[in-house]
Amino acid sequence: MQTLEAFQPLITQIGPRNRSRRSHFYQELLDAIATHRVADRPDRFEPRRKKKRKAPYDLLMKSRAETKLDILKGVSKN
Protein backbone atom coordinates (compact mmCIF):
# COMPACT_ATOMS: atom_id res chain seq x y z
CA MET A 1 0.00 0.00 0.00
CA GLN A 2 2.84 2.37 0.84
CA THR A 3 4.44 1.83 -2.55
CA LEU A 4 1.17 2.48 -4.33
CA GLU A 5 0.64 5.66 -2.32
CA ALA A 6 4.18 6.77 -3.16
CA PHE A 7 3.46 6.30 -6.87
CA GLN A 8 0.10 8.08 -6.68
CA PRO A 9 1.34 11.49 -7.93
CA LEU A 10 2.90 9.81 -10.97
CA ILE A 11 -0.27 7.83 -11.64
CA THR A 12 -2.34 11.01 -11.81
CA GLN A 13 0.32 12.79 -13.89
CA ILE A 14 0.49 10.08 -16.58
CA GLY A 15 -3.26 9.64 -16.92
CA PRO A 16 -4.88 7.58 -19.66
CA ARG A 17 -3.34 9.36 -22.67
CA ASN A 18 0.09 7.76 -23.20
CA ARG A 19 -0.29 3.99 -23.47
CA SER A 20 3.38 3.02 -23.88
CA ARG A 21 4.50 5.25 -21.01
CA ARG A 22 1.69 3.92 -18.83
CA SER A 23 2.70 0.33 -19.65
CA HIS A 24 6.34 1.05 -18.73
CA PHE A 25 5.22 2.80 -15.54
CA TYR A 26 2.98 -0.13 -14.62
CA GLN A 27 5.94 -2.52 -14.93
CA GLU A 28 8.06 -0.21 -12.74
CA LEU A 29 5.29 -0.16 -10.14
CA LEU A 30 5.06 -3.97 -10.10
CA ASP A 31 8.84 -4.25 -9.77
CA ALA A 32 8.80 -1.82 -6.84
CA ILE A 33 6.04 -3.78 -5.13
CA ALA A 34 7.85 -7.07 -5.72
CA THR A 35 11.02 -5.85 -4.00
CA HIS A 36 9.28 -5.31 -0.66
CA ARG A 37 9.05 -8.17 1.79
CA VAL A 38 6.40 -8.53 4.43
CA ALA A 39 7.79 -7.70 7.85
CA ASP A 40 8.22 -10.33 10.53
CA ARG A 41 4.89 -10.77 12.27
CA PRO A 42 5.45 -12.81 15.44
CA ASP A 43 2.57 -14.96 16.66
CA ARG A 44 0.86 -14.65 13.27
CA PHE A 45 0.33 -17.85 11.33
CA GLU A 46 -2.37 -19.72 9.48
CA PRO A 47 -2.57 -23.45 10.13
CA ARG A 48 -2.88 -25.52 6.97
CA ARG A 49 -5.89 -27.69 7.64
CA LYS A 50 -9.04 -28.61 5.83
CA LYS A 51 -11.99 -26.83 7.33
CA LYS A 52 -14.73 -29.09 6.06
CA ARG A 53 -14.79 -32.72 6.96
CA LYS A 54 -16.45 -35.33 4.85
CA ALA A 55 -19.98 -35.91 6.06
CA PRO A 56 -20.67 -39.40 7.41
CA TYR A 57 -23.56 -39.76 4.96
CA ASP A 58 -23.84 -41.41 1.57
CA LEU A 59 -24.23 -39.38 -1.59
CA LEU A 60 -27.77 -38.66 -2.75
CA MET A 61 -27.92 -40.74 -5.92
CA LYS A 62 -31.67 -40.46 -6.56
CA SER A 63 -34.02 -37.53 -6.31
CA ARG A 64 -34.87 -36.45 -2.80
CA ALA A 65 -38.54 -37.41 -3.35
CA GLU A 66 -37.61 -40.97 -4.43
CA THR A 67 -35.26 -41.35 -1.50
CA LYS A 68 -37.96 -40.22 0.93
CA LEU A 69 -40.38 -42.77 -0.53
CA ASP A 70 -37.79 -45.53 -0.19
CA ILE A 71 -37.23 -44.57 3.46
CA LEU A 72 -40.98 -44.60 4.12
CA LYS A 73 -41.28 -48.03 2.50
CA GLY A 74 -38.42 -49.29 4.61
CA VAL A 75 -36.19 -50.06 1.66
CA SER A 76 -32.53 -50.10 2.55
CA LYS A 77 -29.59 -50.19 0.18
CA ASN A 78 -28.03 -53.28 1.84
Helices (H), 15-53: 19-35
Do 3 and 25 contact (CB within 8 A), yes or no?
no
- pTM, two decimal places: 0.42
With pLDDT > 90 as the criterion, what percentage of the chain qualifies? 1
CA atoms within 13 A on the CB side of 4: 1
User: Is 30 a member of any domain?
Assistant: yes
Domain count, the chain: 1
Q: Is 24 within a domain?
A: yes
User: Using an 8 Å Cβ cutoff, are 29 and 54 in contact?
Assistant: no
**pLDDT band per the 50, 70, 90 thresholds, residue 74:** confident
Write out the residue range of the structural domain in which residue 28 sits.
Answer: 1-38
In a domain, 21, yes or no: yes
Residue 15 lies in a domain: yes
Q: Looking at the domain assignment, is residue 73 inside a domain? A: no
